[in-house]
């Protein structure tokens, strides 16, 4: 192959096509549990989560919701994946491996939101603070004008019997569906996703798909939620019952820049002269955050 600007442009077009094809084929689960927030600045401020107002009868002046005094700022972070193309491979027309690498980069870019949402969000939910300053999963979330509320239940998920199912899934569903706002009004939350690690796949399947539980008891939880199993969960025992049908899901994927394939393929570039390498790769900016703990 003659290496010039035209051949380099053609190579990059082919690599970009492979990247985009793989990007669209990757299977992800982040969108099932997280809301996409499009970011337009270096960081996003989620203080507005502390005043998520509901409609009320208008008597007298309007009731104005003030933003919380403490901030919940989530900065965007930079991410990249870069591949070097050896000029000798172009001379020898040995380029098939780079198409495979471009597809790998596309899959990686598509799965990257999963890595952020699960790695920085779900797996750290017992320690990382949300908008109220408490860990996202906590036994005492503060509410202005109301008693603190828990969204943490220290019970193992179980389908060993009807009693065990009621004490775990049933209790969590009741806790979730009775969540209230600062004025004591129901939030309207409903349990629709059961998120578990692979170690709890069978338990979740029995709870949500079986007609009967052990002991021949009718299963009141069949079809009660959708089962989502993720190997990205680092705990074999932690499980999450989620409300994902509202305006805001429990987790947030904050995207500043969508991954795209870029290149450094200039025949006159100093890197080519010094190392006989052309570069291509993807880059993006984003972060993970928490929505309402209710």
Q: Give me the tens of pLDDT residue by residue for the chain, a chain 294 residues long.
A: 556 667 777 777 888 898 899 989 999 999 999 999 999 899 998 877 776 555 555 656 544 444 444 568 899 999 888 877 777 776 666 667 778 888 888 898 999 999 999 999 999 999 999 988 999 999 999 887 778 999 999 999 999 999 999 999 999 999 999 998 877 888 899 999 999 999 999 999 999 999 999 999 999 999 999 999 999 999 999 999 999 998 899 999 999 998 887 776 555 556 555 556 777 778 899 999 999 999
Distances in whole angstroms, Cα of residue 227 to Cα of each of 4, 46, 84, 139, 179: 53, 29, 41, 25, 22
Domain 5-57+64-123+252-290, what fold? Answer: Major capsid protein gp5 fold (3.30.2400)
User: In angstroms, rounded to a whole number, what is the distance separating the alpha carbons of residues 281 and 19?
Assistant: 9
Give per-residue pLDDT as tens, 98-133: 788 888 888 989 999 999 999 999 999 999 999 889
Is the Cβ–Cβ distance between 256 and 219 less than 8 Å? no
Sketch the domain layout of the chain as residue ranges.
5-57+64-123+252-290, 141-247
Q: What are phi and psi of 10, to 5 degrees?
A: -65, -40
This prediction has a pTM of 0.84
DSSP, collapsed to helix, strand or coil, labels residue 134 as coil
Burial class for 156, CB neighbours closer than 10 Å (0-12, 13-18, 19+): middle
User: In angstroms, rounded to a whole number, what is the distance separating the alpha carbons of residues 242 and 141?
Assistant: 17
User: In angstroms, rounded to a whole number, what is the distance separating the alpha carbons of residues 12 and 6?
Assistant: 10
User: In angstroms, rounded to a whole number, what is the distance separating the alpha carbons of residues 179 and 172?
Assistant: 11
The angle formed by the CA atoms of residues 151, 43 and 117, to the nearest 5 degrees, is: 45
């Amino acid at each position: 192959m003659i290496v010039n600007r035209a051949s380099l442009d053609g190579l990059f077009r082919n690599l970009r096509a492979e990247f985009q094809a793989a990007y669209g084929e990757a299977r992800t689960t982040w969108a099932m549990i997280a809301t996409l927030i499009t970011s337009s600045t270096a960081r996003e401020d989620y203080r507005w989560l502390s005043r998520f107002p509901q409609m009320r009868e208008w008597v007298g002046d309007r009731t104005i919701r003030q933003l919380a005094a403490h901030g919940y700022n989530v900065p965007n972070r930079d991410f990249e994946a870069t591949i070097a193309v050896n000029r000798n491979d172009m001379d020898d027309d040995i380029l098939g491996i780079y198409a495979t690498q471009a597809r790998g980069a596309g899959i990686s870019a598509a799965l990257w939101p999963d890595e952020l949402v699960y790695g920085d969000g779900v797996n750290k939910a017992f320690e990382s603070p949300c908008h109220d300053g408490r860990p996202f999963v906590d036994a005492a979330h503060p509410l202005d004008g109301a008693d603190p509320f828990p969204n943490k239940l220290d019970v193992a998920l179980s389908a060993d019997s009807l009693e065990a199912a009621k004490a775990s899934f049933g209790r969590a569903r009741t806790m979730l569906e009775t969540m209230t706002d600062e004025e004591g009004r129901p939030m309207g939350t409903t349990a629709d996703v059961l998120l578990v690690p692979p170690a709890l796949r069978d338990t979740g399947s029995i709870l949500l798909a079986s007609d009967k539980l052990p002991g021949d008891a009718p299963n009141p939880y069949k079809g009660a939620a959708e089962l989502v199993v993720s190997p990205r969960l680092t705990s074999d025992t932690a499980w999450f019952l989620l409300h994902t049908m509202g305006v805001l899901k429990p987790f947030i994927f904050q995207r500043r820049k969508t991954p795209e394939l870029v290149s450094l393929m200039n025949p006159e570039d100093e890197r080519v002269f010094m190392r006989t390498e052309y570069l291509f790769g993807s880059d993006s900016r984003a972060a993970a955050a928490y929505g309402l703990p209710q």
